[in-house]
Amino acid sequence: MKTKFLKKNSSNKELKFFRSIPRGSYIILMLCIFCLFAILGFVTSLFIPGQFGYWSVILSAISSGLISVAYAHAVVRDRRFFIIAIPLQLLISYAMPTNPAPVSMSSITKEYLIFHASGIMLLIVLSYTLLIKFIGKEGLSHYRMRTEIDLAEKLHSILVPPVSLHFGSYEIYGISKPVGEVGGDMFDCYTNGSGGITVTIADVSGHGVGAGALVGMFKSSLRTILPSGGNISENLSLVNKTLFELKEKKMFITAAMAELYEGTINYTVAGHPPILIYRRESGKIDEKTIKQIPVGVRKDFKFTHETDSIANGDIVLMLTDGVMETFSKSGGQFGLKRVEELLKTNYNSSAEEIAKKLTDEVENFGVLTDDVTVVVIKRN
């Protein structure tokens, strides 16, 4: 299943690359393909010397180039273009003269051979020149993009490493799987100034270096403020005020925070999916949420928090929307109900086992279109 997913994902990336090429560069690429395959018109004539006149050879070269461009466009950019490419090939083949004006064998002279050699040489030079021009334009753009992706990937691996730890009676495990090389999700666990531990999960809008930088600022801001001892809503409000001036206007962060003490949880939710709490005693799941805007939308917004109890055997699950919004091939959504059922049937497992089971189920369900991040907290 994973091998099929990787192959399909790789194919999707190739299509996405070709579809993202600017129109000017794409025209240069298609002209390069036209010139390269137009050579076949001259080569075919040389296999049967004297059977095609000069204009027939030129027409054959143009036809070969056009058919190749049609198929290339259908393969790399728009599969629907096969509807045009196949009839075009049949039409050109039918329209080609069945009895072209031949050049007699006695007329095959140096001039005739020079005509073919000149045509082939001209097309080779043109295709090579166009290819170099295409690489010059798109190669530099790709190099810059690759550098940005590599930088953002390193940022993500540093800022969002897997977490496995114990704090008092709590077992905590977190894992994040970016949909591409670069992720926009994050989670963090940090001992606060009140003797508890604060677990944060967040989803930054967008991807790339900008999103990675915002993740870094969000994480460092929280770690700077948490030791002060304020409650999570006060801390989140301070972080929001700080980041509002530093980020791009269109960017924001959805987040959920859980402040854990022995038997108690303080939580706040800012435009993020609900925190799920599995109750061992009743076998039921509580969805904990607070209707608040994401971080970075309004500078002076005052976030609030609520308090609940955590008994032995209870499980707290925090996740990003990439988990629920994964779609199957048939168009069905993974959804929150599947998450809750998995939590109910695996309540005896460790935090790490539950997290890995959930992420595996999501990957096997369908093609990931967004980052998947899961944090499981179990009180033993």
pLDDT of residue 264: 96
Name the segment(s) of the chain with CATH classification 3.60.40.10.
Answer: 160-379
For the segment(s) 160-379, the CATH number from 3.40.50.720, 3.30.70.240, 3.90.1300.10, 3.60.40.10 is 3.60.40.10
pLDDT of residue 144: 66
> Do the beta carbons of residue 354 and residue 376 sit within 8 Å?
yes
Angle at 177 between CA 175 and CA 183, to 5 degrees: 115
pLDDT for residue 317 is more than 50:
yes
What is the rounded distance in angstroms from the CA atom of residue 375 to the CA atom of residue 355?
A: 7
pTM passes above 0.85: no
Taking residue 27's Cβ as centre, other Cβ atoms within 10 Å add up to 13
pLDDT for residue 288 is more than 60:
yes
pLDDT for residue 100 is more than 60:
no
Per-residue confidence band for 96, with pLDDT thresholds at 50, 70 and 90: low
Please give the DSSP secondary-structure letter assigned to residue 107: G
pLDDT for residue 107 is more than 70:
no
Q: What is the pLDDT of residues 123-162, one digit of tens each?
A: 999 998 988 888 777 666 666 666 666 666 666 677 678 8
Q: What is the pLDDT of residues 260-279, one digit of tens each?
A: 999 999 999 999 999 999 99
- The mean pLDDT value for 355-361 works out to 95
What is the rounded distance in angstroms from the CA atom of residue 119 to the CA atom of residue 116?
A: 5
Nearest of 54, 123, 67 to residue 95 by alpha carbon: 67
Distances, alpha carbon 374 to alpha carbons 156, 248, 285, 349, in Å: 15, 27, 17, 15
What is the rounded distance in angstroms from the CA atom of residue 366 to the CA atom of residue 362?
A: 7
Nearest of 38, 8, 12, 26 to residue 73 by alpha carbon: 26
